[in-house]
Amino acid sequence: MSQTVLITIGRLPKALDFARSFKAAGWRVLVAEPFKSHLTGASKCVDRSFQVPPPSKGKEAYLAALLRLIEAEGVDLVLPLSEETMHVAHLAGRLPARTRLYAPPVDRLLALHDKARFPAIAQTHGLTVPETALIESPEAQAIAEHQDFVVKPIFSCSGRAVSLHTAGTSLIDVAANLTEPAVVQVQVKGKQYSTFAMAQDGKVLINVTYQGAVMTGSVAVAFERVEIPAIQAWVETFVSRENHSGFISFDFFVDESGTASAIECNPRVTSGVHFIETDDLAPAILNPGAQPIRFKQTKLMQQFYPTLTEVQAAMFKGPHYWDRLKVLRTAQDVTWDARDPMPFITMPITAFSIIALSMRQQQTFGQVSTQDITWFEGERLEAF
């Protein structure tokens, strides 16, 4: 009898990669998703999709719905991938004996995700990070007075509520517009990169370094894989010192001297996963280190529909039309597979709820696609 994996997000292309990989490995694939219609649900690799309440409607209700599903369907592996990971990790200690949860312990996970605590952790390992302080602290005031700085919520994602400021800007004025705890961080000058790694017991099994080729706000919708030795060494050192297992991702700046500074950690899957051979993902989770994990041959990938939107926008404003058009014409789409074409073909339909939210709220697709699953302190109810 085949085993069953429950993927706890379905709306994002990264979930489709894992669904396809586990199906190729002979597993039964289930998806739990707050949206009734979603990208991964259109795949022939998914046996069943289940709609669950989003964490934003109440953390305990979300976890209870997952537990009922896990027990009813005899789930062997629970696989969180995106921002919902911070919620799903709280299932540890509550799962049936047969069920494995692929997530680090909650305390470690939240410490890495926390924009104030992560830089302190990295510094203890002798790694380069920009000076960072809680916005109400004297250290934050000193940063704001003398250097250009960034303000972001301690649990932000997808660029949500992130703002840039010049030296001397009043923190009192900035803080007045905030609704949650935030940090002040020195703006690092240089070129920006992101990473995605899979690790086991402090060893990096594979690390992808990539840069945005086409952006929607602060989120890349087309991306190019690159090799930056300073970043690779930074990631390997951090994973080793933390003895980390699981997914882990970072955002970096590399300055003119070649120094790599990590500005934040995302202990989840990012778009870098699309550069890994899909068939290698499930084995890397089920039997880590048993076989090499391969990169795809392509080094330029895109989310076609968002990239198309950015190309169309550049026709009327901005100087980047031809560069974006070249990417659109040459990059490989992250969802397209001739053996499983429906997720790509039906994406405008399955993503309609997110597209509508994006237009209604005047926010980017990336921002609205995670707002109902983003981690928040305490319990709350809010409309979505």
Q: What pLDDT, in 10s, does the model give residues 62-106?
A: 999 999 999 999 999 999 999 999 999 999 999 999 999 999 999
Domain-embedded: residue 208: yes
Q: Would you say residue 92 lies in a domain?
A: yes
Range of the domain at 283: 191-302
String of DSSP letters for 179-247: SS-EEEEEPPPSEEEEEEEEEETTEEEEEEEEEEEEEETTEEEEEEEE--HHHHHHHHHHHHHHT--EE
CATH number of 174's domain:
3.30.1490
Q: Mark whether 34 and 18 lie in a shared domain.
A: yes
Identify whether 111 is part of a domain: no
pLDDT in tens, 210-246: 999 998 877 899 999 999 999 999 999 999 999 999 9
Residues 182 and 195 in one domain: no
What confidence tier does 260 reach under pLDDT thresholds 50, 70, 90?
very high
For residues 242 and 168, membership in a common domain is answered with no
- Determine the pLDDT at residue 381: 40
Amino acid, res. 76? D
For residue 321, being part of any structural domain is answered with no
- Considering the domain boundaries, does residue 90 fall inside one? yes
Among 145-159, 194-208, 305-319, 357-371, which range has the highest average pLDDT?
194-208
Looking up residue 296, the CATH number of its domain turns out to be 3.30.470.20
Across the range 21-34, mean pLDDT stands at: 98
Q: Which of 162, 186, 210 is the last residue of a domain?
A: 186
Tell me, yes or no, whether 265 and 365 share the same domain: no
Domain total of the chain: 3
**110 domain-assigned:** no
The whole-model pTM stands at 0.94
Q: Is the pLDDT of residue 154 over 80?
A: yes
Asked if residue 168 is part of any domain, the answer here is yes
The secondary structure element, H or E, covering residue 275 is none
CA nearest neighbour of 165 among 178, 342, 13: 178
- Give the CA distances from residue 254 to residues 47, 72, 98, 149, 332, in Å, rounded to whole numbers and listed in that order: 43, 49, 44, 17, 26
> In angstroms, how far apart are the furthest CA atoms of the chain?
65
Residue 6 or 379, more confident: 6
CATH number for the domain including 29? 3.40.50.20
Same-domain pairing of 237 and 287? yes
Q: Are residues 157 and 247 in the same domain?
A: no
Average pLDDT value for residue range 341-345: 98
2 with 75, same domain: the answer is: yes
Q: Could you tell me if 50 and 141 lie in one domain? A: no
SS3 89: helix
Q: Do 87 and 166 have their domain in common?
A: no
Residue 48 lies in a domain: yes
| Nearest CA among 272, 126, 142 for reference residue 207 | 272
Indicate whether 146 and 200 sit together in one domain. no
Confidence tier at 380 by pLDDT (50, 70, 90): very low
* Whole-number average pLDDT of the chain: 94
